Copies of this chain bind each other. A is one copy, B any other.
Amino acid sequence: MGFDRLIEGIVRMQNPTVVGLDPRLEYVPEYIVEKKIYKHGKTLKAASKAILEFNKGIIDEIHDICPAVKPQAAYYEMYGVEGMKAFYKTVRYAQKKGMFVITDGKRNDIGATMTAYAAAHLGYTDVCGEEIAAFGSDALTVNGYLGTDGISPLIEQCRANDKGIFVLVKTSNKSSGELQDLTLESGKTVYAAMGDMCESWGEQLQGKYGYSGVGAVVGATYPEQLAQMREALPHTFFLVPGYGAQGGGAEGVSKAFDKNGLGAIVNSSRAVMCAYKKEECDERDYAKAARREVIRMKEDIISYLPKIAIE
């Protein structure tokens, strides 16, 4: 229940990081892109097949040292139906390799419609009695702007299928404060009010290690807010984007963790996917370069943590 499976993976690998699979075509080595275009022309199909091969190569190299991947739905949707096929196959492949898959979709809607999103990403779709997993991730990022009835259907699916959600609280982007930092009459900020809702929703999904299945997205680029939220939301597991390329440092993100080095997972996307470009190594070595970057990131982050242990 909750994020127990994810936490166990983090402890086993001593690695509280997740690799974001946000594969723009320009991140994919040319030899892969050229091969697919030779076969399928300059089409969405060629692009999607290139992305899938790229993802599989990275998953092959990191699945034994990194507990989770986070495919970003937008980068598959932009390649249309073929892109969604690459997304589906990426999720399946990573799970087959034992990884925990967080779909970054930031989905949100009213209750009836969230039931459909919950089925799509965390549960099963009924087709005249057959129950079929449409995309079948392990967790989904969601936006809580619509309140409880947009979250309840997700909680039901999480409970039934041992899945989790991450609700946007304080996002990593520059303009996140325009709405999220506004102060309410109560003296709280909008993001803190959203954080409180996460704690409250999570009461229905408590896990074994003190964290519920309702996590929160809190950006690495705002370390003060990370520290404040860590204290205010003791049962809420954090997904922390913004490390590396977006400017968040390891010392800052350490504030997202509790005294056991648990309570958060830090995402890096571009720095891992494009490690081969930064290293200026042979592009055919892209997956091994990604592995080297995962190890570098993990060591950077754990150097600020006391330990990573289940008490």
Decide yes or no whether A194 CB sits under 8 A from chain B. Answer: yes
Contacting B at CB under 8 A, from A100-121, are 104, 106-111, 113-114, 116-117, 119-121
Q: Which residue of B74, B84, B120, B174 contacts A117 across the interface (Cβ within 8 Å)?
A: B74
Decide yes or no whether A254 CB sits under 8 A from chain B. Answer: no
Contacting B at CB under 8 A, from A134-192, are 134-135, 143-150, 168, 171-180, 182-186, 190
- Residues in B neighbouring A149, C-beta threshold 8 A: 173-175
Contact A147-B179, Cβ < 8 Å, known A42-B130, A78-B117, A81-B81: yes
Copies in the complex: 2
Q: Which residue of B42, B121, B128 contacts A128 across the interface (Cβ within 8 Å)?
A: B42
Contact A110-B173, Cβ < 8 Å, known A44-B132, A179-B190: yes
In angstroms, Cα B109 to Cα A75, docked, is 12
Are the C-beta atoms of A79 and B125 separated by less than 8 Å? yes
Chain B, residue nearest A178 (CB): B147
Number of interface residues of A (CB under 8 A): 73
Chain B, residue nearest A111 (CB): B173
In angstroms, Cα B134 to Cα A182, docked, is 36
Are the C-beta atoms of B182 and A44 separated by less than 8 Å? no
28 A-B pairs with CB atoms under 8 Å apart are A37-B128, A43-B130, A44-B127, A44-B134, A74-B109, A74-B113, A75-B113, A77-B116, A77-B117, A78-B125, A79-B134, A80-B132, A80-B134, A81-B85, A81-B88, A106-B107, A110-B171, A111-B173, A146-B171, A147-B173, A147-B175, A147-B178, A147-B180, A148-B178, A150-B175, A178-B197, A182-B184, A183-B184
Decide yes or no whether A25 CB sits under 8 A from chain B. Answer: yes
Q: Which residue of B80, B108, B129, B190 contacts A120 across the interface (Cβ within 8 Å)?
A: B80
Decide yes or no whether A215 CB sits under 8 A from chain B. Answer: no
